[in-house]
Structure 1
Amino acid sequence: AFLRETYQTSAEAHFSNGVVEIDGHTLTFAELSRRAWFARVPLSATGHYATPDIGWDPKTGKGRPFYYFANGAAVTEVEIDTLTGVSKVLRADILHDVGKSLNPLIDLGQIEGGYIQGMGWLTSEELVYSTHGELLTHGLSTYKIPTATDRPEMNIQLWDGANPREMLYQSKAVGEPPLMLAISVHSAICHAISGLSSDSQFWPELNAPATPQEILRCVQCATTGS
């Protein structure tokens, strides 16, 4: 519309090879951008993509929250020190659904990173506030995130099957779903604590994150029955 008004024409503009042509006039894209800027023509635009087949029917109590699902399974081995409450993740075996993988090495890295991020979320990344509501764990000295030394032995396999939904080359997103695989870390710690109890039905009420203090509290419950 800006070009049509500038050159008083109804012809269509054609963009190719870094230039713009309209009704016999030729401009570089840079020159067009400069002119539009000084004419106060917006040089950006936004849009919104509405994912199809997502909705909720309150009458039936049914719906579909996501366009597709990425499934995964993880088995985690941990050890806990019953004197200090310190836990260590020793090994993780993971199978994760990525659809048709676009780049297996990148997907493996995303899965590993998501798992370790979740490991920190569930074991060490505790938010502590003062009685005045001030966040006390506000830096790396007080808010403990996993480091390279916390990385366990990891055995990751990609479940390579086409996404039944219409996606790019039938792939699936793999950036955030693997975070939930780390729930197996919390479960493994609970299993380790339950093994200390003489009651075969005992299961610790272990809050997350499973800090050493939390683990020691549950160890005491398991060994004393209190």
Structure 2
Amino acid sequence: MSNEVSRVLLIEDDASIAELQKDYLEINHIEAEIASDGLVGLNRALNESFDLIVIDIMLPSMDGFEICRRIREKKNIPLMIVSAKKEDIDKVRGLGLGADDYMTKPFSPSELVARVQAHIKRYQLLTKTDQVNDTIEIGQIRIDKSARRVFVLGEEIIFTTKEFDLLLFFMEHPNRVWMKEQLFRQVWDMDDLDSDIYTVVVHVGRIREKLKKGKLSEIPIETIWGSGYRFNT
């Protein structure tokens, strides 16, 4: 892995919160920059190089949901939403727009640092350019692991970072029931940091939608009520 310092953009209009987050990240050797306006943050996210972006929802000029949607259209880097909005519908919406994680305020700065580190570490590991070409194929789904590409019935389907990671994990561990909490720990690479099952539920739903759009006749990810999910071969 590269020894370069990771760079994070904090799109947050509360100066005291932003500075606290910045301080904790930089203590842990992560360079952090702050954008206090939604539109300014979006422009920086699209035009500069960052390893991860933390986005508040309530912002001047443009809300965090729209920022998330627009970034995800152009880039596949990790996105984290942080917000005081605790309603499930907001979490589902944020994750549905392509966010990799959703943290509800208030939270400890150390938890933010841990999640940021986990997302960056996993993203860097999965996008190393020196990986040997490797593919996995089950039924009519084929994954090119080194190129991070998914093909359904021979046609490429575009997946976000965590959608890809989750589908790959299912295909590498088929015919086994996985609880949502287990999937969160395995795919998001975090050990019970207030894990939210909506993160997993929404990502599974998005994978299913994309497989359906790829005209797959039978979706292999089955919900096992009261337990979790199983990828059937």
TM-score interval w.r.t. the shorter chain? under 0.3
User: Higher helix share goes to which structure?
Assistant: 2
Larger Rg over CA atoms:
1
Report which structure shows greater RCO (CA 8 Å, sep ≥6).
1
Normalized against structure 2, the TM-score is what?
Answer: 0.25
Normalized against structure 1, the TM-score is what?
Answer: 0.25
